[in-house]
Amino acid sequence: MSKAKIFYFTLRDEQRKEEKLEWFKNTRFQDIPFQRITPDENGNWINLADTDFKTLLPLANKQTKLAKTKAQENAVFKLFSLGVSTNRDEWVYDYDKKTLEAKIKYFAKVFNQESKRFRGKDVTKIGNELSNAIKSSSSLKANLVSGKEFQFEKDRLVKALYRPFFKQFFYAEQIINDRLTVNHIQMFGEKFDKENKVIIITTGNRLPFSVFSSNTLPNLATFSLDPAQTFPLYRYSESGERVENITDWALEQFRAHYGERKIQKKDIFHYVYAVLHNPAYRKKYELDLKREFPRVPFFDDFWQWAAWGKRLMDLHLNYESAKPFGLKRMDLPDEKVPKELKVRLKANKEKGIIEIDEQTTLSGVPKEAWEYKLGNRSALEWILDQYKETKPKDKTIAEKFHTYRFADYKEEVIDLLKRVCTVSVETVKIMREMERDKES
């Protein structure tokens, strides 16, 4: 890239196509006022960021993840991983535990039949012969020809984070999930029942940078468009031993900078969570955060930032037990409600109203609640989106296991909206405190 020569020119965006074509038709190549661009060290040549990002502490990198000795580590986190990629979400997630169990048992029956049929065959030549009753993938085909059997295990039915503020029952087993890896097992144990906390971020350039936390395994598409990357507080060995995932190198960097030997790794975990929520940090490093993992600056008051991070994490991890916000509920009398009640789940941000269905409306949503966004949606909008009634794309699921009806969850959703409204308002409050802090 150091030898690349890039010359760039653009016409005004507001010009019509015909005007641009006419301009190029009447302009000699040597008269075009090109701008010479020098790529940066990573080969980026457009939207170059002029910041001190490279001088900050790396949050994570492959060198540290693969390091055999602590002396080779030079990032805050040792283990990191993308969220789980299932390739068949409709099979392995469900609102209802019994429905999920039925789906997995059916899948196991068909899988085992196919495993006997294709054992030992060429994996590249079985595509058109596979049963379409279950969703296939490259890893599933490899398991079929190897002759593996799939047995349902009830203790693999766990709760997992599917989208922000939305958990579902999940079947945590490697055959049925396309990319349920050793990294995920190191985070939550072989049966995904180990205690842990993870910081989740967006990695990509389609969404605004976002961060969330979870104490359960997150989905790859937690934020929808861009992949979710996770950084756990702990990791677990094959024997089940719990190990702190923040490196000794990071601990020494923080202790040396602040002259504070009492700083612990959990404090750094909270500090990082606060920094990644800081509006000034996100704005300054906006372009950098679209291209690589975050890096961590040393803000002046470590303990203030660690405290903010702990408050935020407590809010986000314990959203289901937050104090309900005082939203006003309005219900039409039964005689005015249609027999076939239509689900709305729509938000009117200007009026502070949430339409639940044709009968029920919530009002009094403060404007701050809409400001707390994860990706392209506010926290409240994530809930509204995930509880809508939609027909499954998978034909077998649609025909045999489509049991979801919003009416069964209406009261639960209303309660959740009130609690997440409180979480949203408190999150925005903390982020505004950060903005007022002159040391950020």
State both tokens at 281.
């940090």
Query: Which pLDDT belongs to residue 1?
Result: 44
φ, ψ dihedrals at 364, nearest 5°: 90, 20
Query: Which pLDDT belongs to residue 85?
Result: 96
State both tokens at 188.
């939550």
* C-alpha closest to that of 234 among 260, 208, 266, 209: 266
DSSP helix/strand/coil, 296: strand
Residues 170, 95: contact at Cβ < 8 Å? no
* C-alpha closest to that of 427 among 374, 372, 376, 370: 372
Domain ranges of the chain: 6-48, 81-243, 328-433
Within 10 angstroms of residue 390's Cβ, the number of other Cβ atoms is 9
Q: What pTM was computed for the model?
A: 0.87
Query: Which pLDDT belongs to residue 41?
Result: 60
Exposure string for 101-140, b = 16+ CB within 10 A, e = fewer: bbbbebbbebbeebbeebeeeeeeebeeebeebbbbbebb
The dihedral formed by the CA atoms of 263, 269, 270 and 275, expressed in degrees to the nearest 10: 110
State both tokens at 355.
């339409």
* C-alpha closest to that of 440 among 298, 237, 248: 298
Sheet holding 166-171, edge to edge: 93-94, 166-171, 157-163
The sign of the torsion formed by the CA atoms of 72, 75, 78, 83 equals negative
* C-alpha closest to that of 118 among 105, 129, 134, 104: 129
Helices and strands, counts by H and E, the chain: 15, 19
The sign of the torsion formed by the CA atoms of 15, 16, 17, 21 equals negative
Can you list the positions of beta strands (E) in 175-225? 198-202, 211-214
Query: Which pLDDT belongs to residue 286?
Result: 95
Sheet holding 198-202, edge to edge: 81-82, 228-232, 198-202, 211-214
Residue tagged 């996770």 (tokens):
230
φ, ψ dihedrals at 228, nearest 5°: -95, 130
The sign of the torsion formed by the CA atoms of 149, 154, 160, 166 equals positive
State both tokens at 2.
């150091």
Residues 275, 305: contact at Cβ < 8 Å? yes
The sign of the torsion formed by the CA atoms of 274, 279, 319, 246 equals negative
The dihedral formed by the CA atoms of 394, 400, 406 and 408, expressed in degrees to the nearest 10: -150
> What pLDDT tens digit does each residue of the chain (440 aa) get?
456 677 767 776 666 777 778 878 888 887 777 666 556 565 554 554 447 999 999 999 999 999 999 999 999 999 999 999 999 999 999 999 999 999 999 999 999 999 999 999 888 888 778 888 999 888 899 999 998 999 999 999 999 999 999 999 999 999 999 999 999 999 999 989 999 999 999 999 899 999 999 999 999 999 998 999 999 999 999 999 999 999 999 999 999 999 999 999 999 999 999 999 999 999 999 999 999 999 999 999 999 999 999 999 999 999 999 999 999 999 999 888 888 899 999 999 999 999 999 999 999 999 999 999 999 999 999 999 999 999 999 999 999 999 999 999 999 999 999 999 999 999 999 999 999 885 44
Residues 176, 91: contact at Cβ < 8 Å? yes
Residues 7, 37: contact at Cβ < 8 Å? yes
Q: How far apart are CA 170 and CA 183, in angstroms?
A: 17
Long-range contacts of 426-432 (CB under 8 A, 24+ apart): 426/311, 426/315, 427/277, 427/312, 427/315, 427/316, 427/372, 427/379, 428/368, 428/369, 428/371, 428/372, 429/368, 430/277, 430/308, 430/311, 430/312, 431/277, 431/278, 431/279
The sign of the torsion formed by the CA atoms of 278, 199, 57, 378 equals negative
Within 10 angstroms of residue 286's Cβ, the number of other Cβ atoms is 14
